[in-house]
Amino acid sequence: MLEVILLVALLVLSLMAIESRIMRVSIVYLGTLSLLMSFLYLFYNAPDVAIAEAVMASGLTTLLFLTALKRYRVYRICFTNEAFRRVNDRYIFEGTRRGALLHEIEQFCIARELEPQVVCTPESLDVVARSGRYDLIIRQEGDELRVYGDKENYFVDELEVLLILRYHDLNVRFIRSGDPAEGASVAEAEGEAS
């Protein structure tokens, strides 16, 4: 019975590692898979192979992969809309044309080896901008989408071209600002855009 449970867990973890869109999550799944393999080797009375699997594959290889991924950058995107009051409100947005746009931005990040981290929040634009935690801020105000990004970030320029080509029917406006670390506010960026 234990053997069947381990084999099913190995199969599930391997499928999750393959299907995951986020590289860090895949590496954690593979590390867990290696650890379960070492338990399976113990079950088959091969303790020397189990120790090697646990130390080398589960421990060292996972650590090396995660260290290498430090170069893999997380791109933080904040979608702010005061209509969001519950955690599940993002899924209401998912079925719309704007939801397709948000999905397209996520795929755009993945294609450029950036890990998209999308946060949907009801907080005001100034609160989100002052936090300085996000690389890109998307604000929905009525029928207009405003995309706030750093004017020095080439990614925002590429994204603008993509959105002009594919989503010309949506009312999208790009607003560039200076580096948030330099103290440029959203109000200054909107002043520059006018």
Nearest one of 63, 102, 56 to 79, comparing CA atoms: 102
- The answer to whether residues 127 and 178 belong to one domain is yes
Which pLDDT belongs to residue 134? Answer: 86
Q: How many domains does the chain have?
A: 2
Q: What single DSSP character describes residue 177?
A: E
Inter-CA distances, 144 with 101, 103, 111, 141, 190, Å: 13, 18, 26, 5, 14
Instruction: Report the percentage of the chain scoring pLDDT > 70.
Output: 80
Higher local confidence (pLDDT), 21 or 175? 175
Given a cut of 80, whether residue 181 has pLDDT beyond it is no
Judge if 41 and 99 occupy the same domain: no
Residue 107's identity, in one-letter code, is: Q
| φ, ψ for residue 71, nearest 5 deg | -75, -20
What does the chain come to in residues?
194
Bridge partners (DSSP) listed for residue 144: 141, 171
Asked whether residue 108 falls in the same domain as residue 165, the answer is: yes
What is the per-residue pLDDT for 193?
Answer: 46
Task: Tell me which of 51, 69, 87 is where a domain ends.
Answer: 69
Q: In sequence order, which residues have a C-beta less than 8 Å from that of residue 20 and are 6 or more positions away?
A: 26, 29
Choose the final residue of a domain: 18, 44, 69.
69
Residue 32 shares a structural domain with residue 88: no
Tally Cβ neighbours within 10 Å of residue 36. 20
Would the pLDDT of 147 be above 80?
yes
d(CA 125, CA 73): 24
Residues 164, 120 share a domain: yes
User: What are the tens digits of pLDDT across the range 91-107?
Assistant: 445 556 667 777 888 88
Q: Are 52 and 108 within one domain?
A: no
φ/ψ (deg, to 5) at 22: -105, 125
Residues 55 and 85 in one domain: no
pTM of the predicted model, to two decimals?
Answer: 0.55
Please give the pLDDT value at position 91: 47
- Which neighbouring-strand residues pair with 115? 74
Please say which residue of 69, 88, 104 terminates a domain.
69
| Residue 79 binned pLDDT confidence (cut-offs 50, 70, 90) | confident
Same domain, 54 and 92: no
- For residue 117, give the amino acid letter: Q
Does pLDDT of 52 surpass 50? yes
